[in-house]
Amino acid sequence: MRELFENGSSKDPVEAARRSVRASQRRRFYRNATATAADRGFAVRLDDKPVRTPAGRLLAAPTLALAEAIAAEWNAQGDVIDPTKMPLTRLVNAIIDGVTDHAGAVAAEVRKYLSSDLVCYRADAPRGLVERQAKEWDPILRWASEMLGAVFLVGDGVIHVTQPAQALAAAAAGIPDDPWRLGAINAVTTLTGSALIALALARGRLTAEEAWRAANVDEDWNKEQWGDDEAALERGTARFGELQAAATVLRSL
């Protein structure tokens, strides 16, 4: 599968593996994808042959539900295998190749977002946008305070807000060590610009749809005012698919 899925050079191991997918495609060479028990979890097999990640590791998941979801993505391919339509496989490759041996570095990437989290930076106008940000983001901050013990400060505009050390430490303590959950949280964090949205999704406070809506308050507001173009819609659809893949990983563990 190296010709279809290949790691990039980003310093973020998950981002490198998740985003750098070649544009090249390959004709489908298998009839059926299945999930079977393996030494460490459940492996995906194509016509009973193992699948390898770009780094040559076995494409396997810790639960049968997740392995079956990956296999379903392979079965959904048509006559041509299109990696851009396989966000779950790309994310799982990223976790296996980029997180398993680098969990500390990946957790550090997530922690960086806490000090400048999206939901802490608010517009001061127009009124409609201010109200919508509050509607979507205030519940996430309340959840962080109540469930994580992390009380974050909110500021207007783009001026940096120095967050209390206690809040940063409390929220960071909620970042898991398990590479599968960590990899999914990292993916959501980079997609949304918010570690708090990612943690709320991982803990079941937000659904994938709610997390996406919260992450795109400003973009949705602008689209309502000025309209959207086809390219932007395609990018948004692809990125939402990536977020849904991360939600699938979290839900399947």
Q: How confident is the model at residue 231 (pLDDT cuts 50, 70, 90)?
A: confident
Report the run of H or E that residue 42 belongs to, with start and end: strand 41-46
Same domain, 198 and 118: yes
In whole angstroms, give the CA distance from residue 112 to residue 92.
23
Q: Which domain holds residue 216?
A: 103-252
Asked whether residue 172 is domain-assigned, the answer is: yes
Same domain, 118 and 90: no
Give residue for tokens 């849904």. 244
Give residue for tokens 């399947």. 252
Asked whether residue 8 is domain-assigned, the answer is: no
Task: Give, in order, the Cα–Cα distances in Å from 186 to each of 32, 104, 219.
Answer: 31, 12, 21
Same domain, 34 and 153: no
In whole angstroms, give the CA distance from residue 109 to residue 79.
38
Q: Tell whether the model's pLDDT for residue 46 goes beyond 90.
A: yes
Can you list the alpha helix ranges (DSSP code H) found in 39-99? 64-75, 87-94
93 exposed, middle or buried (CB, 10 Å; 0-12, 13-18, 19+)?
Answer: buried
Picking from 43, 70, 99, the residue at the C-terminal end of a domain is 99
The reported pTM is 0.91
Same domain, 149 and 236: yes
pLDDT tens track for 165-224:
999 999 999 999 999 999 999 999 999 999 999 999 999 999 999 999 999 999 999 999
Relative orientation angle of helices 179-192 and 87-94, to the nearest 10 degrees = 120
